Amino acid sequence: MHGGGNTSPSFSSFSSSSSSAADRRLNALVRHLEGSSLNGSRSIAASPTSGSHGAPNSVFDHLVRAPEDPILGVTVAYNKDPSPVKLNLGVGAYRTEEGKPLVLNVVRRAEQMLVNDSSRVKEYLPIVGLSDFNKLSAKLILGADSPAIQENRVSTVQCLSGTGSLRVGAEFLARHYHQHTIYIPQPTWGNHPKVFGLAGLSVKTYRYYDPATRGLNFQGLLEDLGSAPSGAIVLLHACAHNPTGVDPTIHQWEQIRQLIRSKALLPFFDSAYQGFASGNLDADAESVRMFAKDGGECLVAQSYAKNMGLYGERVGALSIVCRSADVASRVESQLKLVIRPMYSNPPIHGASIVATILKDRSMYQEWTIELKAMAERIISMRQQLFDALRSRGTPGDWSHIIKQIGMFTFTGLNSKQVAFMTKEYHIYMTSDGRISMAGLSSRTVPHLADAIHAAVTRVA
């Protein structure tokens, strides 16, 4: 309607409420139209294609409905299923042994403290977010003794969880970095290419997962990164790769680091599972720290969605490790220009909870214990599922279930088998065969094992 100006707006909606005012305007309009060379079509009657109330044509008439998000759409389908044995292994949100979401005790305590503190206000945070939160987050991922932090070479800004941190970092790179190509592993979290694409980067892939071994295609990875143009950005999952659960060993990480530095590639870490993968915060940060320690530059997106169970609060941070304090300061000022026209400043609640916990010694301790418990429950689910498949004599090698790490298992099941499991066993998971181990319990493992067994033996 706006473009060519050839469609006549439908004015029949003038026949609504305040009639005399509307009539007056209608008459004025008719006079105006008859006197003007506005456009060819003169009809004031409801156009046959307009809505039920004779509404004028929408400028967004041409829109089609977007497809459901493949991951979040799984939960939508699950919710619709009336079966009592249904199992949701789709979205990566932790569940207890009883299948319930979990708010960590230490988070409850922190939140109560905040509510009871009547001196707290809800003012705008600075554009870069809560200062304490930023400092503590940088220390958490880079290590309290990180030279980069001590030398003030790290610029950290609070963002909306991992997604927000990735998007802000990507927008910054698209504006200020000389290379606009980012290499992402194959496969990766479904939202990654969209985040980088919308930020203005062009997306390429590097080999990562080997379906034959259900492990890392290390050679392919080295070859693909080796042939990337100098300076290209490389997305690395810090630990607990999503969706495969396949991580490089420490030795492999060192080789990756050397390759990246030798080609002056720019590492961009996505750290969504620190502490959640092995149960140990330092161990899960080893890959990132390796890079931060070598004097080079890198970006890190951190999320507290899983490891603090703060999913819906959208708490995260983007850190950019720079060569000098002066550069870090200028970088921060430019990050603000990305953030301000996006949402002005980040939400205060979740970051306040995190800061409260991280800065208090006993609360921090309590957190590490609860975190370890979550990680261990998941590791135990892996073992139970593996044992259940073995005891059923399910054909195939299922050792990858206990070798992979983190919230997800890349089962190796194909989309036909997945569809079968959904239809016959009411198991909900993404069609790439990824299951969220966090959604399993001792009680439901047998049902899943039965489903997998059936799928493998009956569906090609």
Partner 1 sequence: MAQLLRSGCSGRVLCSGAVGAARSMSTAWWRHVEPAAKDPILGVTEAFLADPSPNKVNVGVGAYRDDNGKPVVLECVREAERRIAGNLNMEYLPMGGSVNMVEETLKLAYGENSDLLKDKRIAAVQALSGTGACRLFADFQKRFSPDSQIYIPVPTWANHHNIWRDAHVPQRTFHYYHPQSRGLDFASMMDDIKNAPNGSFFLLHACAHNPTGVDPSEEQWREISHQFKVKGHFAFFDMAYQGFASGDPERDAKSIRIFLEDGHLIGCAQSYAKNMGLYGQRVGCLSVVCEDEKQAVAVKSQLQQLARPMYSNPPVHGALIVSTILGDPDLKKLWLKEVKGMADRIIGMRTALRENLEKLGSPLSWEHVTKQIGMFCYSGMTPEQVDRLTKEYHIYMTRNGRISMAGVTTGNVGYLANAIHEVTKSG
d(CA 441, CA 99): 7
Residues 115 to 144 in contact with partner 1, rule: CB under 8 A: 115, 118, 120-127
User: Tokens 């789709």 identify what position?
Assistant: 90
Is 70 a binder of partner 1 (CB under 8 A)? no
Considering only the stretches 45-53, 275-283, 382-390, 400-408, report the one whose residues sit in contact with partner 1 under the rule CB under 8 A.
Answer: 45-53
Rounded to the nearest whole angstrom, what is the least distance from the CB of residue 398 to partner 1 in the complex?
30
Which is closer to partner 1, CB of 177 or CB of 364?
177
Three-class SS state of 394 = coil
Stretch that binds partner 1, among 13-21, 241-249, 388-396, 430-438 (CB under 8 A): 13-21
Residue 408 in contact with residue 434, Cβ under 8 Å?
A: yes
Binding-site member from 16, 152, 219, 258 for partner 1 (CB under 8 A) = 16
Question: How many whole angstroms separate alpha carbon 27 and alpha carbon 6?
Answer: 22
Binds partner 1 (CB under 8 A): choice among 86, 237, 257, 314 = 314
Site for partner 1 in 178-207 (CB under 8 A): 178, 191, 194-195, 197-199
Residue list 97-116, contact with partner 1 (CB under 8 A): 100-103, 107-108, 111-112, 115
By C-beta, is 357 or 421 nearer to partner 1? 357
Cα 70 to chain center, whole Å?
13
Closest CA to 159 of 375, 354, 406: 354
Lay out the site mask for partner 1 across 407-426 (x = CB under 8 A, - = otherwise).
Answer: --------------------
Binding residue for partner 1 (CB under 8 A) from 44, 222, 327, 379?
327
Give the position of tokens 């135990």. Answer: 380
**Interacting positions 360-379 with partner 1 (CB under 8 A):** none
Active site residues: 189, 270, 306
If one asks whether residue 324 binds partner 1 (CB under 8 A), the answer comes out as yes
- Total number of residues binding partner 1 (CB under 8 A)? 112
**DSSP H stretches of helix in 294-347:** 325-343
Helices (H) and strands (E) counted in the chain, each on its own, are 17, 13
The radius of gyration of the chain from alpha carbons, rounded to an integer in Å, stands at 27
The Cα-based distances of 260 to 187, 231, 271, 345 in angstroms read 20, 9, 18, 33
**322 vs 456, which CB is nearer to partner 1?**
322
Contact call for residue 296 and partner 1 (CB under 8 A): yes
Mark 216-255 with x for binding to partner 1 (rule: CB under 8 A) and - for no binding.
---------------x------------------------
Cis peptide before 84 (omega within 30 of 0): no
For residue 289 the two structure tokens come to 């720290």
* 3-class DSSP assignment, residue 156: strand
What residues between 251 and 290 interact with partner 1 by CB under 8 A? Answer: 261, 264, 266
Distance separating alpha carbons of residues 111 and 310, to the nearest angstrom? 11
Q: Quick one: 109 exposed, middle or buried, by C-beta within 10 A (0-12, 13-18, 19+)?
A: middle
Q: Which is nearer to partner 1, 127 or 449 (CB)?
A: 127
Q: In this complex, which beta carbon is closest to partner 1, that of residue 86 or of residue 153?
A: 153
